[in-house]
Chains A and B, each alone.
Chain A
Amino acid sequence: MKELIAARGLRKSFGSFEAVRGIDLIVPAGQVLGFLGPNGAGKSTTMRMLTGFLEPTAGTVTLDGIPLADEPIAAKRTFGYLPEGAPAYGDMRVEEFLNFVARARGYVGADARSRVDRSIERLHLEPYRRQLVDTLSKGYKRRTGLAQAILHDPPILVLDEPTDGLDPNQKHEVRELIRRLGDDRAVVLSTHILEEVEAVCTRAVIINEGRVVFDGTPKALDAKAAANVTSNRLDHVFRMLTTSDIGGAPRTKAASR
């Protein structure tokens, strides 16, 4: 399979604090990667390096064969990105905002209109297209952010907490959409919800304190829980990998030895 995302040896320091301490991430087409970790583990920082918002202190990112550091503009055309909190221009109507993104992506006239219409349709935003982004509920604002990310049908999608703030119905719809999109794309999504990983992801990567502590299928993640754990098995594994609450946890100190 073609490597769409290839991040090697990513590190990021803010002053003396090292947020990301050497992460490798190779994602081929057809993979939906769930990116997990406690708050402050470095999820958003990693995603910001994948999308060129932050320059890594060390390491390289190649997107669809294009080196991000050398050809940032070309590389930025290969992905759609939903940043943390789904930022959007509050003073614009949904369709105006999507139109701006369409223009930024190089579409004009009828091309731009059909892109915007299709995106609105896919995220079921039709009743809200003339509404100001500022007046949207949290869930619809997030959908507008998703509509913006998929507008140009990119081979790569990077989604920072795409279902945060959605009600259960909206969550279900968005997961269905991501699953469909993941058929022929590389998708990286971060989440706090472990059931989401089981529901949509074909691969789970857990990071803690800037390092990868698990990388495998959701099934393999489940299998790490002891047989006597019957409920919330994934939560149990997550705590086991990222805290010292449960015996046998590979705490950073132990892991780095």
Chain B
Amino acid sequence: MNSPARIATIFRREFAAYFTSPLAGIFLVIYLFMSAVLTFQMGGLYERGQADLRPFFQVQPWLDLFLVPALSMRLWAEDRRTGTIELLLTLPFSVRDLVLGKFLAAWAFACVALALTAPLWITVAWLGSPDHGTILVGYIASALMAGTFLAIGAFLSAFTKNQVIAFVLSGVACFLLMVIGFPMLLDFVSGWLPRTAVEAIAAMSVLTHFESMMRGVLDGRDVLYFVSVSAAFLFLNGIVVEWKKAE
């Protein structure tokens, strides 16, 4: 059996695992409900009188902050708590197969949730004539951002046997990765840091890249940012699994 087939085996098991507990249902309901409430109430989708999904995309980073760690927290912590990590690592899988299979399962689930918001797109398309390209790029950005947060969450989940700890650590890490791009914070440090350093900090922020994509600009550098941060954390994830497996 080759590596893609092995990854597919892990993917199936992990994807199905979301649906064996109430987690999948609770997650989808909360995500869709919150998306709608925030988009219409806070974002004022109707009141703005513009046919776009800007208010919807604007709240995605904040929703992801709370919801994505709920998807990633169990990825490794659960296997370490129950001892199934020993089973997985002595079956004919490589650590890379496991890391990718688990990550892709969580990401696929997040993408399903995102796809279920399609009625919003249909609504604005029905009410006006939005720029579909911009909306598509917004969805791509949302999927990439969720993937990045999931990679960070999976990495942190490998450190602990406790899902709650994994959840909190992931939430904090993703929050930090967002706020380093805040104008408020950047103004604060720009007083005593050189300009290039401030720009470098801003360039590391998820928000900087997400917001430029949200405006409909499909820039290779933004995509590269999300892909490379995800890849880096998945690589580290494999190292932590090897390091912590027997504890």
Residues of A within 8 A of B (CB): 48, 51-54, 72-74, 76-77, 81, 83-85, 87-92, 100-101, 103-106, 148
Contact = CB atoms under 8 A, between A and B. Distances in A.
Contacts of B12: 100, 103
Nearest to B81: A87
Given A48-B246, A92-B20, A53 B84 contact: no
Contacts of A92: 20
* B interface SS class: helix
Interface stretch (B34-42, B58-66, B88-96): B88-96
B84 A87 contact: yes
A76 B90 contact: yes
21 contacts: A53-B86, A53-B90, A53-B246, A54-B246, A72-B94, A76-B91, A81-B87, A83-B90, A87-B82, A87-B86, A87-B87, A88-B84, A89-B13, A89-B84, A91-B20, A100-B9, A100-B12, A103-B12, A104-B91, A105-B91, A148-B87
A144 to B, nearest CB: 11
Q: Which of B12, B21, B91, B93 has the most CB of A within 10 A?
A: B91
Interface string B203-220: 000000000000000000
Interface string B91-125: 11110000000000000000000000000000000
B1 interface: yes
Given A53-B245, A91-B21, A92-B20, A104 B86 contact: no
Interface in B37-92: 82-84, 86-87, 89-92
Interface in B121-173: none
B83 A53 contact: no
Q: Which of A48, A53, A54 has the most CB of B within 10 A?
A: A53
B13 A76 contact: no
A83 B87 CA distance: 7
B13 A100 contact: yes
B17 interface: yes
A101 B246 contact: no
Contacts of A87: 82-84, 86-87
In the complex, the 7 A-B pairs of residues with the closest C-beta atoms, listed nearest first: A87-B83, A106-B1, A91-B20, A83-B86, A76-B92, A51-B90, A104-B91
Given A53-B245, A72-B94, A104-B92, A88 B9 contact: no
A158 to B, nearest CB: 9
B17 to A, nearest CB: 6
A43 to B, nearest CB: 14
A160 B45 CA distance: 61
A144 B88 CA distance: 15
Contact of A53 (B9, B21, B82, B89): B89
A54 B244 CA distance: 11
A50 B229 CA distance: 36
A212 to B, nearest CB: 22
Interface string B1-13: 1000110010011
Contacts of A77: 92
Contacts of A74: 92
Nearest to A96: B16
Given A100-B9, A103-B9, A106-B1, A91 B17 contact: yes
Contact of A90 (B82, B86, B94): B82
Contacts of B245: 53
A85 B13 CA distance: 21
A229 to B, nearest CB: 39
Contacts of A104: 6, 9, 91-93
A88 B78 CA distance: 11
Nearest to B86: A83
